[in-house]
Amino acid sequence: MAGRGSPHNIDHRFSGPLVEAVDDGWASEEWESAFNTLAPQTEVREIDARSIISYNSSPDVPFGRSINPYQGCEHGCIYCYARPSHAYLELSPGLDFESKLFAKRNAADLLRREFTKPAYQPQTIVIGANTDPYQPIEQRYRLTRQLLEVMLAHRHPVGLITKSAMILRDLDLLTELASEGLCQVMVSVTTLNETLRRQLEPRASTGAGRLKVIEKLASAGVQVGVLAAPMIPRLNEPELEQIIKSAAEAGASCADYILLRLPHELAPLFVDWLDTHYPGQKEAILNQLRASRGGGLNSVAFGSRMRGEGHFADLLAQRFRLISKRLGLGKRHIQLRQDGFIRPGEQLSLF
């Protein structure tokens, strides 16, 4: 299906009884083919969220707080680990995830309200840990920009993860935040092969465009790194060194990577995608992943869920360490200032 990562919806793990379509002989083969390949329009529902900051204490996640202004993501990345979260909304992690989206219109107000609480203590908040904060609908809703405006007004540290060139729209805010040590951006670069990129991430920026984002952010003084993720065995994994090298040449100061993991409904979605695009490599890719995931396609254990285990995973980690060391890239540590936080109602000190 043109412009979409998943061509169809699959039942989610909370689905009721399966309903199957029946061929009654009325529709022609040509009509059925046209109907099944017609990409649906993106639907966005504005919602009022009850809370906005998510907290985690995972030892393998380099931040403890995050905000996702959108649920679902129009980029349509077939590998996205956030797809299964749509099941909690009684929607499919397949096509629904990338075409039925939710915008938390009160995100900035909720964040400002959090900052007013007497017990609140500043700590870096990462925007976009699950879904991209600069996916196409941000152009209209501007929720990410509103959040950055609140962060800047109250001198609160913020990190962003994106694969979109739209982030450059907010270069004015990012530059000002960076000048006070309050901002870090991680740009996700999955592949520099444009054919593969279109198949994996149909509505995301090109690989070259993301390198340009790194270059412009670095030139503006914004702390920026590259996230080579996810690494898919035998598909984009051979590009690891080139991705890191190209990002470093563009101005990235740190790097990280994640090995593909396929939780819940994501596994059959990705297998279907392989059947469509890489049937000849399908079994080799899946077998390599199983060997790195304890025999399955996903693992949840801290320490191995991001990196995997076994010979292939160890070799991938070694390759990453070697290229990062050779290029002088630091680890993905978020070390931003917290001492300048201004609680709402307080005035910025003049001294």
pLDDT of residue 100: 97
Q: What SS3 state is found at 225?
A: strand
pLDDT of residue 295: 97
Residue 234 has pLDDT above 70, yes or no: yes
Domains of the chain: 40-327 (3.80.30.30)
| Residue 23 phi, psi (nearest 5) | -80, 110
C-alpha of 219 from chain center: 24
pLDDT of residue 331: 79
Per the prediction, the chain carries an average pLDDT of 90
Distances (CA, A) of 326 to 204, 319, 330: 30, 11, 11
Helix axes 282-292, 311-327, angle to 10 degrees: 90
81 Cβ partners below 8 Å, 6+ apart? 230, 261, 263, 266
pLDDT band at 303 (very low <50, low <70, confident <90, very high): confident
Comparing CA positions, the residue from 77, 96, 2 lying closest to residue 232 is: 77
pTM (predicted TM-score): 0.88
Q: Which percentage of the chain shows pLDDT scores above 70?
A: 87
Per-residue model confidence as pLDDT tens digits over 42-77: 999 999 999 999 999 888 888 999 999 999 999 999
42 Cβ partners below 8 Å, 6+ apart? 74, 98, 99, 100, 101, 136, 137
pLDDT of residue 312: 98
112-121, 128-137, 242-251, 298-307: least confident range: 298-307
Residue 25 has pLDDT above 50, yes or no: no
C-alpha of 157 from chain center: 20
Cα separation of 84 and 262, whole Å?
10
Encoded amino acid at 37, one letter: T
Residue 142 has pLDDT above 90, yes or no: yes
pLDDT of residue 84: 96
43-47 sheet: strands from edge to edge: 43-47, 100-104, 70-71
Choose between 19 and 15: higher pLDDT.
15
Cα separation of 83 and 99, whole Å?
12
pLDDT of residue 38: 54
234 Cβ partners below 8 Å, 6+ apart? 281, 284, 285, 288
pLDDT of residue 350: 41
pLDDT of residue 22: 38
